[in-house]
Structure 1
């Protein structure tokens, strides 16, 4: 089975439809499947529900789908850095299901493992617990969280082989691994596809059995928040903190 496709549009062909649930990897702008997101925007599908830690920034990442009003609902743990996200939510144009960060990751992991739900203490006594089943274990209250079973997963990795084995670089592992496992179909974009057998088995973070389609391409790697300090004058001695 050939998993390698020439570009994002071809890799998503036949998979997209209005109203579907998409699980997207990435954290801020780190490890986001930007090529696949751009192709989804171009396809014009609407009324999407997207499960992702956040929605990128204005004009980049999932933010481009918010600009075109293609997203109906976000399942996220963080909504900062994106003014359009906040504007749509506060004006009632966008539905938002808040999740604690660890809960969101575990909901994706649970879906990938075929687990329909699990109990957690996180969120007990807050708005996160409203409308959810409560249960006591050893005198402690827990709430029931449901696993996420997505129609489509889109993720970004560093390297892959043609069978879909993926290697993520550093913090890009974040939500990409659990997001990849919880979709009926997983499409991955990578920086490089290497020959089969060239990856060290111990270095593979996600087995190819989870990946159905694969593309390689250039990535912008935009910096979300650039923090710098003033350059020291020539010959000056820095003052200790």
Structure 2
């Protein structure tokens, strides 16, 4: 089965491509680097020719409100239109747990707009909502830094390894379209400020983690469970404490 992975050279997309190939599928990594640009439509028709499934694991190069909305709306419209012409039978998209609860954020309003386009198109679909990735620890700490300290809200979240994300997305891609959203998460919940104290200690990072209930996430206020999955989420098996990249070697 031919499966095209949009964002197929990225963190999760490349892992999905590898897994699909090992399962015997014709997995195509589609990204600007391989001549496929969903924002302009360049290369889409050729890439999707003969495809049964499309997995969209792409992300916007800019998180500015107008730019991210333009990216997700335009690229998704172009992708769905090209899929309709090519006769694609299943559209799979990777999104984020809590998207619908984070609508103060321009980024998550854009993700919600993307999901709406998918749900109202004629192509059968599946949306995978994932929690934050372990690989983003360094980036999140950098974004939260203030003169030798980092500030995180004392709220719950349940991060996961990108390998577990890729396993879940691969499973959905080779399955029957769900016409529904499923959630995936890491094996254990953490209080975010405590998690980053542990994460920075693994890296021998001297910065102090300050608990700040007023800290926003991509511009959105957080409640205690805003970032948490529901009770039916599928849980990954890789714990942060035993994840090989916890010392910073993978991000």
Same topology, TM > 0.5: no
Q: Which has the higher contact order (CA 8 A, sep 6+)?
A: 1
Higher gyration radius (CA):
1
Of Structure 1 and Structure 2, which has the larger fraction of its residues in strand?
Answer: 1
